[in-house]
């Protein structure tokens, strides 16, 4: 069965029909061809599919497409504005926080959400904020460094 | 700013942070069909027949392929011992291709209009299995009367190596102390974040194109062409972005079956691309693992700490098929001796077929299993002698000109002593501004992640702390007589000045940073900024064979190949050639295989060396081991990109902490019980240690600009160093990893009795 839903993704409004049993990850990747959001496990373990649902990070594989009806979604493709990288994207590059990069979109979204609710996070806050995102390459050190630096840049630019 | 030695950003970083980087599962082509692989899901069975009629009749199904559709139904990276599809009826290939030997054997391919239709139809396949006796323990598999995994063989031992040097009995007679223990290590799942996926189609030239994630485009192409009975130029293998590998993509997963499906469909007049994406469970049962090992070691030393005898018996679980087991065994046969001089050596090493998921390449490649035993033997000897473990290592460590157990002189650039000395300095704090890297025991020093260690918090009581060290060597490049080569082409464009440099190279960028390193080496030699270097890479149609991204070889091999090509292109540029183009095939010095009886050989091109110190915290009430801190000293020859080198060290240590403390891959009677990321737990951001990376740059005489490979060696010492630290904390030795809380708790209880 299909359902008509209306939602925004990265600020763009969409009116589409989605299958009852399709999760938000399938809708984003297959229907909207926003492949930046990754599928690492389909069961909410790895965090590669993390997106923002009304500003809150969720595993898109654990949210049904129909549940997005009327809501705002932000994916990794929505972090940069007019080709300008968001601070967390730039600091992730500078800190060397991406290697294979498959976890990176989910990590960026989780970090972005953390910085939205906590502009001055401690290391513990950062690790708590990223605990749902698996990375097999980096050992996480540089990811944590990147979030610290993005928080600093964000505070400086808000002064 | 010089190109080499600078931590320039990765060449692929921007695309990876914007979501623009395309991995195999992200790529679609118009009209594509979906392929579903049907796995055997049983560890040992004969397939008497396959009835595809119900599946063929299901909605949306376009084709079902079985063994009968495979022209040459046999493949293997080093040993041709595996059917592409298990079942009867292939025109050529293995005589007993109808035998299933592990749960991840592939049996059939269902091709349908949609993924859902392919999945539904796959359940309708009627496979007539006759179950066969299962052997799942390598030691049991060596016993007379064990079920045979490959029926044409006399026994299950795939390969044995022996090393005989000096007189080990005379050595033990001279020894003042002898220590003898048996060590066990577990399987490890690579758990790269990107599950296997790919796309295949027929291009305008009639070639089969396979877009996939792997580690060696030319080898993938060779194996596809071999199974399809086609010339290699009829196949193109192209890698887009690759979501991690760590050795886990060295062998075939979706490559052959995707090509087979697209090619057979085209023969039936259906010219449509075929795509597949494996689930996490399929990835975990469907590709090989780090070999489990059982290592018995008896070593002797004199009172003054001189190693006089090393006797080691090494067994690895090969699983159902060879994959790279013979090559891993080649490394383990020497790794189990450590980087030490000893005149009397006796090694028997073997790898044994079972009905488990195959063992294969995984970062370290036999080095971790071998050094786990070797380094803990050194700790046991140090304990027996009452000697500092680092001092004992220094007294026996290789020097320039030392002989290996293979009676060959070590490759020049032997630096285990300076690496150990630097570790000693780091531990004592003299390299750390006078501050000890170890927190004092009195201070509370909660680890930054402590709030989340709920089970540790639950016992709120004692925490025991301890430290340990270990060290290792790791071969760089292919070993034991394999003729290693690496091709590169450098093209210089411009009129007066060089405006553009193009590097053609086949190396796979699996996350390790090799493309960035290649751009830096080319820029350095040509004398341009790295931004002016364009890369044409990881595509058999555009590049020549560069070999695998494995064996810590690509910085060394590609660096030498690109340096050679760039120097020649530059000479042509100076001769006014426009464009100036040069191709270079780098061939390193030759190695030789083991002598069958004595192991005599010149095994390795060169080595890297690493030493680590580890601090752990143990909760004696719950058995939890938490690794707090790791200092890793690594001689990398020359750090082309220091930030990327540090990233490899940090990532390797995290993977090794996982292997040592909580990655518990459980197989029972050939079935995988930990087939999800919810049951196979890899480290999260709160499980990892603080890592201090210390990079030594002692130039390797053969290395490009002095560089040697380095991405495996920081994995190797971590496990024995953790076990030594747990012993320091608790007084109990653990000879088996992973150090799950249950294993540690039981060990502590048993010792307390």
pLDDT tens digits, one per residue of B464-500: 999 999 999 999 999 999 999 999 999 999 999 999 9
In a domain, B441, yes or no: yes
As for how many domains chain B has, the answer is 3
Rounded to 5 degrees, what angle do the CA atoms B580, B582, B587 make? 165
In tens, the pLDDT along B217-255 reads 999 999 999 999 999 999 999 999 999 999 999 999 999
In tens, the pLDDT along B724-743 reads 999 999 999 999 999 999 99
In tens, the pLDDT along B133-183 reads 999 999 999 999 999 999 999 999 999 999 999 999 999 999 999 999 999
Q: Do residues A72 and A129 both lie within one domain?
A: no
Cβ contact A124–B511 (<8 Å) = no
In a domain, B145, yes or no: no
Residue B74 in tokens: 């046999």
**pLDDT at position B429, please?**
85
Give me the mean pLDDT over the A26-54 stretch: 98
**pLDDT at position B651, please?**
98
Give me the mean pLDDT over the B684-697 stretch: 97
Cβ contact B243–A98 (<8 Å) = no
Domain that residue B97 falls in: 24-133+223-269
Domain that residue A32 falls in: 2-78
- B277 CB neighbours in chain A (<8 A) are 39
State the average pLDDT for chain B.
95
Domain stop point among A78, A111, A140: A78
Answer whether residue B438 shows pLDDT above 90: no
Cβ contact B192–A76 (<8 Å) = no
Domain stop point among A54, A78, A102: A78
Mutate to test the interface with B, among A109, A122, A130, A137 (most CBs of B within 10 A): A137
In tens, the pLDDT along B251-293 reads 999 999 999 999 999 999 999 999 999 999 999 999 999 999 9
Cα separation of the two ends of chain B: 64
Answer whether residue B454 shows pLDDT above 60: no
Q: CB distance from B620 to chain A under 8 Å?
A: no
DSSP state of A76: G
Q: CB distance from B119 to chain A under 8 Å?
A: no
Answer whether residue B70 shows pLDDT above 80: yes
Q: Do residues B640 and B733 both lie within one domain?
A: yes
Whole-number Å distance between alpha carbons of B109 and B64: 6
In B130-192, alpha helices (H): 138-141, 168-174
In tens, the pLDDT along B590-610 reads 999 999 999 999 999 999 999
In a domain, B346, yes or no: no
Q: Do residues A92 and A74 both lie within one domain?
A: no
As for how many domains chain A has, the answer is 2
**pLDDT at position B434, please?**
41
Residue with tokens 């708790």: B745
Q: Binning pLDDT at 50, 70 and 90, where does residue B1 land?
A: low
Q: What is the CATH number of the domain that holds A17?
A: 3.10.20.30
Q: Do residues A72 and A92 both lie within one domain?
A: no
Q: Do residues A91 and A71 both lie within one domain?
A: no
Whole-number Å distance between alpha carbons of B686 and A150: 20
Q: Please tell me which residue of chain B has the smallest CA distance to A78.
A: B18
**pLDDT at position B274, please?**
98
Whole-number Å distance between alpha carbons of B490 and B727: 53
Contact B552, B710 (CB under 8 A): yes
SS3 B716: coil
**pLDDT at position B55, please?**
98
Cβ contact A136–B512 (<8 Å) = no
In a domain, B367, yes or no: no
Q: Which of B191, B449, B686 is closest, CB to CB, to A136?
A: B191
Q: Please tell me which residue of chain B has the smallest CA distance to A34.
A: B19
Between A87-95 and A104-117, two packed helices, what is the crossing angle to 10 degrees? 130
Q: What is the CATH number of the domain that holds B125?
A: 3.90.1170.50
The residue count of chain A comes to: 159
Q: B436: how many CB neighbours lie within 10 A of its CB?
A: 11
Cβ contact A131–B13 (<8 Å) = no
Answer whether residue B677 shows pLDDT above 90: yes
Contact B168, B372 (CB under 8 A): no
Q: Which of B631, B644, B604, B638 is nearest to B694 (CA)?
A: B631
Q: CB distance from B677 to chain A under 8 Å?
A: yes
Q: Which of A34, A45, A89 is closest, CB to CB, to B677?
A: A45
Q: Binning pLDDT at 50, 70 and 90, where does residue B357 land?
A: very high
**Adjacent-strand bridge partners of B128:** B49
Mutate to test the interface with B, among A21, A95, A96 (most CBs of B within 10 A): A96
What's the ipTM?
0.98
SS3 B560: helix
Predicted structure pTM score: 0.96
- B19 CB neighbours in chain A (<8 A) are 34-37, 75-77, 105
CA distance A41 to chain B (A): 5
Q: CB distance from A10 to chain B under 8 Å?
A: no
The dihedrals phi and psi of A12, each to the nearest 5 degrees, come to -90, 130
- A42 CB neighbours in chain B (<8 A) are 279-280
Q: CB distance from B682 to chain A under 8 Å?
A: yes
Residue with tokens 């294969």: B360
**pLDDT at position B451, please?**
42
Answer whether residue A62 shows pLDDT above 60: yes
Q: Do residues B488 and B469 both lie within one domain?
A: no
**Adjacent-strand bridge partners of B486:** B586
In a domain, B157, yes or no: no
Q: Do residues B698 and B576 both lie within one domain?
A: no
Q: Kind of pairing, strands B289-290 and B359-360? A: parallel
Whole-number Å distance between alpha carbons of A150 and B432: 28
Contacts of A84 (CB under 8 A, 6+ apart): none
Q: Do residues B439 and B572 both lie within one domain?
A: no
Answer whether residue B450 shows pLDDT above 80: no
Q: Binning pLDDT at 50, 70 and 90, where does residue B453 land?
A: very low
Q: Kind of pairing, strands A12-19 and B345-353? A: unpaired
In a domain, B390, yes or no: no
Whole-number Å distance between alpha carbons of B443 and B431: 22
Q: What is the CATH number of the domain that holds B566?
A: 3.30.365.10
Q: Do residues A35 and A8 both lie within one domain?
A: yes
Q: Which of B390, B640, B447, B374 is nearest to B525 (CA)?
A: B640
**Adjacent-strand bridge partners of B183:** B295
Domain stop point among A38, A60, A78: A78
Contacts of B700 (CB under 8 A, 6+ apart): B413, B476, B556, B606, B637, B638, B706, B707, B708
- A90 CB neighbours in chain B (<8 A) are 17
Q: CB distance from A159 to chain B under 8 Å?
A: no
- Helix, strand, coil tally for chain A in percent (to 5): 40, 20, 40
The dihedrals phi and psi of A138, each to the nearest 5 degrees, come to -95, -20
Q: Please tell me which residue of chain A has the smallest CA distance to B692.
A: A141
Q: Which of A43, A134, A141 is closest, CB to CB, to B193?
A: A134
Answer whether residue B458 shows pLDDT above 50: no
Estimate to the nearest angstrom the gap between the alpha carbon of B488 and the chain centroid: 24
**pLDDT at position B430, please?**
56
Domain stop point among B586, B620, B642: B586
């Amino acid at each position: 069965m299909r359902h008509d839903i209306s939602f925004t993704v990265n600020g763009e409004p969409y009116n589409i029909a989605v299958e009852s049993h399709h999760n938000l990850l399938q809708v984003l990747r297959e229907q909207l061809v926003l492949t930046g959001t990754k599928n690492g496990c389909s069961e909410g373990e790895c965090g590669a599919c993390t997106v923002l649902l009304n500003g809150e990070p969720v595993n898109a594989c654990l949210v049904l497409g129909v549940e997005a009806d009327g809501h705002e979604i932000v994916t990794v493709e929505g972090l940069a504005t007019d080709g300008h990288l968001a601070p967390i994207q730039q600091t992730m590059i500078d800190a060397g926080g991406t290697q294979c990069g498959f976890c990176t979109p989910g990590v960026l979204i989780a970090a972005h959400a953390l910085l939205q609710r906590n502009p001055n996070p401690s290391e513990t806050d950062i690790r708590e904020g990223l605990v749902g995102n698996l990375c097999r390459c980096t050992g996480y050190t540089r990811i944590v460094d990147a979030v610290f630096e993005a928080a600093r840049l964000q505070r400086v630019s808000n002064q | 700013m010089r190109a080499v030695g600078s931590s320039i950003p990765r060449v692929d970083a921007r695309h990876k942070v914007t979501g623009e980087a395309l991995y195999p599962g992200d790529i679609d082509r118009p009209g594509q069909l979906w392929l579903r692989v049907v796995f055997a899901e049983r560890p040992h069975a004969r397939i008497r027949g396959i009835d595809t009629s119900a599946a063929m009749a299901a909605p949306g199904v376009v084709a079902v392929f079985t063994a009968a559709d495979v022209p040459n139904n046999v493949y293997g990276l080093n040993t041709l011992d595996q059917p592409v599809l298990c079942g009867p009826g292939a025109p050529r290939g293995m005589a007993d291709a109808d035998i299933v030997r592990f749960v991840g054997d592939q049996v059939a391919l269902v091709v349908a209009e949609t993924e859902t239709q392919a999945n539904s139809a796959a359940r309708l396949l009627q496979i007539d299995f006759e179950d066969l006796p299962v052997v799942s323990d390598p030691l049991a598999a060596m016993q007379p009367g064990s079920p045979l995994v490959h029926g044409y063989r006399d026994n299950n031992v795939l390969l044995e190596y022996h090393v005989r040097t000096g007189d080990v009995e005379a050595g033990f007679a001279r020894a003042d102390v002898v220590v003898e223990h048996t060590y066990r290590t577990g399987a490890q799942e690579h758990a790269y974040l990107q599950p296997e996926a790919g796309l295949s189609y027929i291009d305008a030239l009639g070639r089969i194109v396979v877009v996939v994630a792997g580690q060696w485009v030319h080898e993938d192409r060779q194996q596809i062409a071999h199974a399809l009975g086609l010339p290699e130029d009829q196949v193109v293998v192209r890698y887009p972005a690759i979501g991690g590998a760590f050795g886990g993509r060295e062998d075939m997963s979706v490559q052959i079956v995707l090509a087979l499906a697209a090619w057979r469909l085209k023969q039936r007049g259906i010219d449509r691309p075929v795509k597949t994406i494996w689930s996490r469970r399929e990835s975990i049962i469907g590709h090989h693992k780090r070999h489990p090992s059982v290592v018995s070691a008896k070593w002797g030393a004199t009172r003054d700490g001189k190693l006089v005898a090393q006797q080691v018996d090494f067994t690895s679980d090969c699983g159902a098929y060879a994959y790279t087991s013979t090559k891993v065994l080649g490394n383990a046969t020497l790794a189990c001796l450590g980087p030490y001089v000893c005149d009397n050596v006796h090694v028997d090493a073997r790898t044994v077929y079972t009905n488990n998921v195959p063992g294969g390449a995984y970062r370290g490649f036999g080095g971790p299993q071998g050094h786990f035993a070797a380094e803990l033997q050194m700790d046991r000897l140090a304990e027996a002698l009452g000697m500092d473990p680092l001092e004992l290592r220094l007294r026996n460590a290789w020097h320039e000109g030392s002989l290996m157990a293979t009676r060959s002189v070590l490759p020049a650039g032997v630096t285990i002593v300076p690496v150990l000395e630097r570790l000693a300095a780091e531990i004592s704090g003299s390299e750390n501004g006078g501050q000890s890297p170890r927190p004092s025991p009195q201070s509370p020093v909660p680890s930054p992640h402590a709030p989340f260690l709920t089970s540790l918090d639950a016992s709120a009581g004692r925490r025991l702390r301890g430290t340990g060290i270990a060290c290792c060597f790791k071969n760089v490049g292919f070993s034991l007589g394999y003729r290693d080569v690496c091709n590169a082409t450098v093209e210089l464009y411009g009129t007066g000045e060089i405006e553009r440099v193009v590097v053609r190279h086949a190396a796979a960028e699996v996350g390790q940073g090799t493309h960035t390193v290649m751009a830096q080496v080319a820029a350095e030699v040509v004398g341009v900024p790295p931004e002016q270097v364009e890369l044409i890479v990881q595509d058999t149609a555009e590049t020549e064979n560069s070999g695998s991204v494995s064996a810590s070889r690509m910085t060394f091999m590609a660096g030498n190949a690109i340096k050679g090509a760039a120097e020649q292109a530059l000479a042509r540029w100076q001769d006014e050639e426009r464009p100036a183009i040069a191709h270079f095939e780098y061939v390193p010095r030759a190695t030789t295989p083991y002598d069958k009886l004595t192991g005599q050989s010149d095994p390795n091109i060169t080595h890297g060396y690493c030493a680590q110190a580890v601090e752990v915290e143990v909760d004696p009430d719950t058995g939890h081991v938490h690794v707090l801190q790791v200092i890793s000293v690594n001689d990398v020859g020359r750090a082309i990109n220091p930030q990327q080198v540090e990233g490899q060290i940090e990532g390797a240590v995290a993977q090794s902490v996982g292997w040592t403390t909580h990655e518990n891959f459980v197989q029972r009677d050939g079935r995988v019980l930990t087939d999800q990321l919810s049951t196979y737990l890899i480290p999260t951001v709160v499980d990892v240690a603080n890592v201090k990376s210390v990079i030594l740059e002692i130039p390797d005489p053969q290395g490009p600009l002095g560089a040697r490979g380095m991405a495996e060696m920081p994995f190797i010492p971590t496990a024995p160093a953790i076990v030594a630290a747990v012993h320091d904390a608790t007084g109990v030795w653990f000879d088996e990893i992973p150090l799950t809380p249950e294993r540690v708790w039981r060990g502590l209880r048993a010792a307390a009795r």
